Structure 1
């Protein structure tokens, strides 16, 4: 059978190439998405400034109560260590030195925005940094600059250097220049006392670099240190994991990349399996006459199935081998796009091992073999005397397995649609609306022959009326050959439906976010900086301006509201400790004196002016659900892991699905990773024009490097443009999935049309002209495109309508109409090109020769 299969492939180059392309592209896409997922799971970051420390101790980002490295919802801000942990680590056998390390955000150098960090001189040994000029810093006001930064700024030892720390300007004397062969970041090295003062986190440090004694195994040393610091909120890293301590953004990058890669991989795998399956199934349908003839010559059903399976296995094996290098390149290409758009940090190491390769090969091989088995099963079971007639008709498509699968997929899509519309609120509804689109697509594809028959019957008379005899012949073809029509329609439905759903899901979210921002912004001006850092004292400076009615800091973060649960039963029926149930909530840090004037959502109870100290203003629905009231106390765990009991001083009603709480900015800033104030909101007094306000604010903030002052409209536009991460991820996902579907569309239609050479020849032998055949195929292309677009629009609607109801109560998605028109126009154009071009090629042959050609 294998020999026969190989010989068959030699004489079916078109079908062989079509299967190879579908399998190859499917394997490449799945491998690339698998590489992204593996990169996110491993989250390896190469150490630079800490490269000389074989072991690094840093704060555990896991939620308290989880074992280290097991939490799926980690803390969002950097968790700091207690500085007394340095002595504990230093006493572990095998430790030559335990060096505390802190990172001070340097937001400006020489009156220009900068992205650099300051550290204590003692931590220079962790890179290591070596002096190449001058001397180490020994007193307050002295600094050592890395050689790259010193060359760029043109500074030498003995000169003065202005540096902004969290937006606050300082001046230092350059005592020396240091160089590292590994570190690439801009670094300022202060005396240890100066660094601690600028760090401004009393009793806390970022991490501990461990220098090992000669001959000590890093892995064993890491285990020993882990035992020593157990239950102290610390995480011990070695090898490639050390970079996470140096680049904490890798933690948030991991949290961004894993769901994105999971969505990529899940949808891409489903599309790959579906496209490969339908392509192979279509090719098997085209060979029904050949297989029927084999049955009449004595080939058994088992032999026929083994031949088909052997052919498919050979093609899949070849496609898998060809996809290995392009699969890795495709994964790295997507990784580069995500890095470029700041969705993930560039310090994360892209990794694509053998598991994604196996997944790509396995998914496409399974789809191909399953499709080949199902397609060959029916003809192999038909009696030899009936096989030829059955192969000619191609009308039966219903089977119990197909109907069961259709019921499951359509039922699952319906369930997700109901959950999206009735349970979900806000942008989170996209987590169920997106998968629903894929389930709708697969379910509709499974019943597409029946749907195509009804739609073709609906179009038969109007199309025939306008297109004449050739058009009526085309409609008869579509009505009789519903299985063939469905094979051509499915890729169009898939591309149209998924493109419309995925793109409009994102545009609807963008529009809702923009409305939410605009509704919540009452300020007339927004102050920011190119360095993304403003001095906190600027809030008071601006609030005292005669043109200003109020000014408020604006700081964002995330936290958890913790509900304390009653003690439960632990092991051996002993009473367990009191537990908490965390609920994630966004935080907005504001200034009490200016919050009422700058925030667009008025309080329902209480007053923003009471937001001082350990106080919080909660959304009314959160307050009601928790059974609390204004004046009660709630437990809040900040993004850096600290827990505080807060007093509820007010409530307000944010837009549906966009719940967030407000806290004092002075309490939130020290609990963020950088402690940087990025924005200040300013409200003008009555009668003050926007231009006068902007001019006054700009003048008062003129000493801040790169200060930017915009009005409310400009701030709204800037907010919409700045939220790129979700948009890039969604559009990239749409491009990958829809791109593959388009390739399948082109592949399927070209093969399906080229296979009809004998049919075209027969038409010409009985008197049809070349123009009449082309016109007939043009009508068929139009009908195919219309049916595919109608089904695709239905698939998109099944996802977008529930999402719109959950987002803002609208049944229509937000976004420009030209997106849908472009999708539809592209689908129509591709359909016409991929049908008419092979038709034109097939008509070049002489009718007599084409009629007898295989």
Structure 2
């Protein structure tokens, strides 16, 4: 049968090419998504500044003290180490030195915004940095700069350098220039005392670089150090994992990449399996007469299935083999896009090894063989005497297996829609609305022959009335050949439905975020900096201006409200030995004196002016759910892992599904990784225009580098444009999935139309002209596009309507109105092009020759 299969492929180049393209593209997409998943799981980050240390000790980012069996995300800010751990690590056998390290954010250099970090001189040997000019820093105010920065700013020993630390300007004298072969990025090296002062975290450090004796096994040394620091909130790293200590953003990048890659891979795999199944099934339908003829000549059902399976196996193996190099390139392409848009850090090493390639190969082979088996099963089971009659008609399409699958997919989609509309709130509803779109698509596709028949019947009379005899003939073709029509409609439905759903899910979230930001902003002006940092003292400076009625810092982070479920052994309420159930909540740090004037959401109880020290203002529904009242205490785990007992001093009503809490900015800033103040909100006095206010604020900011002052509308626009991560992920996912569906659309329609050469020739022999045939096919293209658009719109509505109800109570999605018409026009144009072009090619042959051509 393998020899026969290979011979049949030689004479079916069109079908062979169509199957090869569908399988090849599917394998490429699945492998690329698998590469992203492997990259996220491994989260390898090569050490740069710590490259000389074989072992690195850093803060443990795992959530402390949660109940057994309770899954929770890691801490969102850098977890710091106690300084006394340095002596503990230094005492481990095999350790020659334990070098503490801190990273001081440098936000501007020589009056220009910059992304640099300062460190103590003693940590220079961890890179290592070596002096190439001048001397090491010996006193406060002296600094060694890296060679790249020295060249860029034309700095030499003795030169003066102005630098801002977390937005606060400082002046230094360059004592020397150093170079490292491994460290990248701008770096300033201070004396250890000055680095500690600028770091401003008393008794705390970022990490410890462990230098080992010659010949020491890093793995064994890491195990020994881990044992020595056990229970101290520390994590011991070696190999590629050391880079996480330098680039803690890799942890959040991992958390971002794994779900994105999972969504990419899962959705792309389902689309690939479905598209491949549809393509192979359509090709099998076209060969029904050939299979029927083989049955009449004595070929058994098993032999027929084995022949088809052998053909498909050969094509699948060839497609998988061809996809290996493009699959890796495609994965790297998506990785580069995510890095460019800031969704993941560029320091994370892209990995695509054996497992993603095997997954792509397995998915391709499974989809192809499963589709071939299902498609060949019906023809192989008919009796030889009925085979030729069976080949001429497409009467039966529903089978018990197909019915069960359709019920499961449509039932699952309905369940997700109900959960989205009635249980989910806010942006989190997208986590169920997105998968629902794919379930609707698969379920509708499984029953598409029946739906196509009904829709064709509805369109038959109006289209036939306006298009004449050729149009009526086209509608008869659509009514009789419902299975073939469904094969052509499915890619259109996938492309329009998934594109509409995925794009409008994102635009609806963006509009909701923008609206909520604008509603929550009462300030007349927002002050920010191109460097990303403002000096905290600027808040009081602006609040004292005669044009200003109130000013508030604005900084965000993430925390957990904890409920103790097991007391533990300690008496201190902050002990991490106890087990807790954490509940995620976003934090907004504000200034008590200016919060009431600048925030657009007033308190329901209490007052923002009491928001000082260890205090918190919680959403009203959170207070109700926890049975708390004003004056009660709650346990809060900050993003850096520290826990505090907070006193509730107020409550407010945030938008449904967008809950967050207010805390003092001066309490939140030291508990963020960088300690940067990104924004200050300013409210003008009554009678002061916005332009007057902005002018006064700019004057008060003086010569601070990169300061920008914008009004409320400009701030809303900037806020919308700044949130790129979700937008990029959604649009990239839509592009990949819809792009594949479009390829399948073009592929299937060209093959389906080219296969009808004999039919076109017969029409011309009985008197039809070329223009009449083309007009008939134009009507068929219109019907195919309309049916596909109707079904695709149903897929999108099944996802977007419940999502809108969960997001803001609207049944219509938000976003640019031109998106949906653009999708429809594109679908119609592709349908017409892929049907009419092969039709025109087929009509070039003489009718007599085309009628007898195989």
| Distance apart, 1:578 and its partner CA | 4.5
Distance 1:281 1:598 in 2: 62
| Distance apart, 1:853 and its partner CA | 1.1
Distance 2:840 2:499 in 1: 30
Deviation per residue, 1:33-52 (Å, 9 max, x gap): 11011101111111110000
- Residue of structure 2 in register with 1:765 after alignment: 765
Distance 2:578 2:557 in 1: 27
Other structure's SS at 2:298 match: coil
| Distance apart, 1:566 and its partner CA | 4.8
- Residue of structure 1 in register with 2:239 after alignment: 239
Deviation per residue, 1:557-588 (Å, 9 max, x gap): 0000001125599xxxxxx9752110000000
- Residue of structure 2 in register with 1:361 after alignment: 361
Structure 1 residue ranges (4+ consecutive) displaced by more than 4 angstroms after TM superposition: 66-72, 566-569
Other structure's SS at 2:526 match: strand
- Residue of structure 1 in register with 2:57 after alignment: 57
Distance 2:23 2:434 in 1: 25
- Residue of structure 2 in register with 1:287 after alignment: 287
Distance 1:528 1:474 in 2: 63
Other structure's SS at 1:187 match: strand
- Residue of structure 2 in register with 1:522 after alignment: 522
Q: Give TM-score scaled by structure 1 length.
A: 0.98
- Residue of structure 1 in register with 2:327 after alignment: 327
Distance 2:706 2:494 in 1: 48
> Are the structure 2 counterparts of residues 66 and 162 from structure 1 closer, same or farther at C-alpha, using a change threshold of 3 Å?
same
- Residue of structure 1 in register with 2:7 after alignment: 7
Deviation per residue, 1:363-404 (Å, 9 max, x gap): 111111001000101100000010111111012101000000
Deviation per residue, 1:502-546 (Å, 9 max, x gap): 000000000000001000000000000010110000000000000
- Residue of structure 2 in register with 1:203 after alignment: 203
- Residue of structure 1 in register with 2:572 after alignment: none
* 1:32/1:330 contact within 8 Å kept: yes
* 2:505/2:813 contact within 8 Å kept: yes
- Residue of structure 1 in register with 2:687 after alignment: 687
| Distance apart, 1:182 and its partner CA | 1.3
| Distance apart, 1:703 and its partner CA | 2.6
- Residue of structure 1 in register with 2:41 after alignment: 41
Distance 1:274 1:63 in 2: 40
Distance 1:71 1:243 in 2: 25
| Distance apart, 1:727 and its partner CA | 0.5
* 1:68/1:235 contact within 8 Å kept: no
- Residue of structure 2 in register with 1:313 after alignment: 313
- Residue of structure 2 in register with 1:841 after alignment: 841
Task: Tell whether 2:147 aligns with 1:147.
Answer: yes
* 1:586/1:661 contact within 8 Å kept: yes
* 1:62/1:69 contact within 8 Å kept: no
* 2:284/2:372 contact within 8 Å kept: yes
Distance 2:816 2:179 in 1: 53
- Residue of structure 2 in register with 1:433 after alignment: 433
- Residue of structure 2 in register with 1:645 after alignment: 645
1:339-418 map, 5 Å? 339-418=339-418
Distance 1:566 1:527 in 2: 45
Task: Tell whether 2:23 aligns with 1:26.
Answer: no
* 1:60/1:68 contact within 8 Å kept: no
Other structure's SS at 1:565 match: strand
* 2:558/2:638 contact within 8 Å kept: yes
Instruction: Tell which deviates more after alignment, 795-804 or 557-566.
Output: 557-566
Deviation per residue, 1:395-423 (Å, 9 max, x gap): 21010000000000000000000000000
* 2:94/2:221 contact within 8 Å kept: yes
Other structure's SS at 1:442 match: helix
> Are the structure 2 counterparts of residues 406 and 821 from structure 1 closer, same or farther at C-alpha, using a change threshold of 3 Å?
same
Distance 1:188 1:482 in 2: 72
CA RMSD of aligned residues (A): 1.4
Q: May I ask how many residue pairs the two structures share in their alignment? A: 848
Distance 1:301 1:67 in 2: 58
Distance 1:69 1:162 in 2: 52
Distance 1:703 1:817 in 2: 44
Deviation per residue, 1:147-173 (Å, 9 max, x gap): 110111111111211111001111111
Distance 1:107 1:717 in 2: 24
* 1:588/1:661 contact within 8 Å kept: yes
| Distance apart, 1:12 and its partner CA | 0.3
Q: Give TM-score scaled by structure 2 length.
A: 0.98
Distance 2:183 2:253 in 1: 21
1:230-629 map, 5 Å? 230-566=230-566, 578-629=578-629
Structure 2 unmatched ranges of 5 or more: 570-575
| Distance apart, 1:62 and its partner CA | 0.5
Other structure's SS at 1:662 match: strand
Other structure's SS at 1:817 match: coil
Distance 2:735 2:515 in 1: 27
* 1:324/1:357 contact within 8 Å kept: yes
Distance 1:259 1:72 in 2: 14
Distance 2:94 2:761 in 1: 85
* 2:497/2:796 contact within 8 Å kept: yes
* 2:67/2:565 contact within 8 Å kept: no
- Residue of structure 2 in register with 1:572 after alignment: none
- Residue of structure 2 in register with 1:802 after alignment: 802
| Distance apart, 1:771 and its partner CA | 0.7
- Residue of structure 1 in register with 2:667 after alignment: 667
Other structure's SS at 1:220 match: helix
| Distance apart, 1:70 and its partner CA | 11
Structure 1 unmatched ranges of 5 or more: 570-575
Other structure's SS at 1:275 match: helix
Task: Tell whether 2:118 aligns with 1:112.
Answer: no
Distance 2:68 2:159 in 1: 46
- Residue of structure 2 in register with 1:785 after alignment: 785
> Are the structure 2 counterparts of residues 673 and 160 from structure 1 closer, same or farther at C-alpha, using a change threshold of 3 Å?
same
Distance 2:300 2:558 in 1: 66
| Distance apart, 1:65 and its partner CA | 3.2
* 2:22/2:279 contact within 8 Å kept: yes
